[in-house]
Structure 1
Amino acid sequence: MTDLAKIASFKQDLASSKHVVFLTGAGISTHSGIPDYRSKSGIYNGVSEPPEIILSEDTLYGRPELFHNFVMKNMYFPQALPNKIHEKIAQICNEKGDLITQNIDRLDKKAGNEHVLEFHGNLYDIYCTKCQKKVDYQAYEKDYRHENCDGIIRPGIVLYGEAINPETLTKSVEIMRKSDLVVIAGTSFVVYPFAQLLAYRNPAAKIWLINKTSIPATGISEIIGDALEVFDRL
């Protein structure tokens, strides 16, 4: 059962903070019907090859059909809608905060959040790798080849082996340094360099973890429970 006293304390910290930064992962969007990655029901469970191979630049260009089939079958959920967590985070961010998310499903922006930094990119930022022109989801769904130039189409997400956009890293560090409250939610917090962001926080910032499991970090006030129940009570 979720600790109501801790929720009350968390709510008080949110109210008194001047600038909040949320660090979120796949556990936020599971409540919108989007599976996570590594759980028993996650998209990586039972795959024919390691995800580090399938979701790589080598596969994108060397075996584009495999790459395309995998992302279309497992990663795109265009009908998914934001849930209460997305909406509450959006409300707080638009008032006095920022969100740095690992999620690539655009649900935070759909929720109206105007202060979202998509650390790993966005599935719907689709473009041709040959001519660089933007491609809409419907066209990409039909074919991974661009009809204009026969180039390979890809989503604008960070693949395994690719570097995070330097501007994204710089902006993330700036946000961490200016925030007086850090809220981690819906992430195992083991993927780097995202997990490293905590090292750049304001030393005076308090940290809250809203998660079903603990994470390998110290100095954290924890609510080990379902994020949907916690945010529904705010």
Structure 2
Amino acid sequence: MEQVAPLAANVRDAESVVVLTGAGISTESGIPDFRSDSGIWSRFDPEDFHYRRFRNDPAGFWEDRVELHKTMFGDGIKPNPAHDALRELAEGSYLHALVTQNTDGLHESAAATSAELIELHGNAHHVVCDSCGRRTNAGPVRERVESGARAPRCRDCDGIFKPDVVLFGEQLGKNDLQRARKLSREADVFLAIGSSLSVEPAASLPRIAERNNATTAVVNFDETTFSAVADFDIRGNVTNVLPALCEEVTD
């Protein structure tokens, strides 16, 4: 934690601070990760959530998707102190953009919206019509599936609703990715929080920032692929490190 104070000084003096968050910030809210021994993909087959299956078997896809959602989010999932710390930094104009790999909507729930928010992989609490692009709340759609709807359809065009997330076999939204890369190039400080930085293209963002002379930091339990390059490599629980950083910045 001795690195927190000098990192805070960099954050306080920066004109542009960009944060990338991964699953490690949300596990502390009770949301399981995907790739650990007890993660989501140890309980579900990733192929069941491929865009190809959604197109070929929407009813089966949605039946499994509802079970996946229950397993991931359960009841009462709330932002944790790490989310709250990022919100406070944003409210104090110390955090300018937040890019997340997570689909849990917790940055939105923690009201971290005074900074620009880019959800690279979408938001699991919304659905989008695969035909007309209409977006709406996912809750009523999941209820329709649980009540026996074979495949939930859009009332505007009769297209099939899809979770508003990037499924296997789909590309990340081009505009979101381009914007995230631009923010990374322009950052004075770039923080990667709770991410193993092993999944592209998000993993490339801190390297883009580093190549453009940003001060870079990793906050994670374990070593990442970027740890040896980062100016600050802070190992620890994000719910301890982020509040401490916020306190140092705003004090």
Q: Hey, what's the Cα distance between the residues in 1 that align with 2:132 and 2:215?
A: 46
Which amino acid counterpart does residue 153 of structure 2 have in structure 1? Answer: H
Q: Hey, what's the Cα distance between the residues in 1 that align with 2:125 and 2:14?
A: 33
Cα pair 2:192 2:206 within 8 Å, conserved: no
Q: Is it true that 1:127 corresponds to 2:128 in the alignment? A: yes
Q: Hey, what's the Cα distance between the residues in 2 that align with 1:100 and 1:58?
A: 27
Identity over aligned pairs, percent: 29
Name 2:68's counterpart in structure 1.
74
Report how far residue 45 of structure 1 moved.
1.1
Q: Is it true that 1:45 corresponds to 2:49 in the alignment? A: no
TM-score for both structures, normalised by structure 2: 0.83
**Structure 2: tracts of 5 or more residues without a match:** 146-150, 246-251
Name 2:214's counterpart in structure 1.
205
Name 2:236's counterpart in structure 1.
225
3-state SS of the aligned residue for 2:42? Answer: coil
Q: Is it true that 1:58 corresponds to 2:52 in the alignment? A: yes
**Structure 1: tracts of 5 or more residues without a match:** none
**Change over 3 Å in CA distance of 1:66–1:27 after alignment to 2:** farther
Which amino acid counterpart does residue 68 of structure 2 have in structure 1? Answer: N
Which amino acid counterpart does residue 76 of structure 2 have in structure 1? Answer: Q
| Structure 1 stretch displaced more, 137-146 or 202-211 | 137-146
Name 1:146's counterpart in structure 2.
153
Q: Hey, what's the Cα distance between the residues in 2 that align with 1:230 and 1:92?
A: 13
Aligned length: 228
TM-score for both structures, normalised by structure 1: 0.88
Moved over 3 A (4+): 130-135, 147-151
Q: Hey, what's the Cα distance between the residues in 1 that align with 2:154 and 2:189?
A: 48
Cα pair 2:123 2:165 within 8 Å, conserved: yes
3-state SS of the aligned residue for 1:187? Answer: coil
Which amino acid counterpart does residue 129 of structure 2 have in structure 1? Answer: C
| Structure 1 stretch displaced more, 152-161 or 60-69 | 60-69
Report how far residue 10 of structure 1 moved.
2.4
Report how far residue 26 of structure 1 moved.
0.9
Report how far residue 201 of structure 1 moved.
1.4
Cα pair 2:138 2:163 within 8 Å, conserved: no
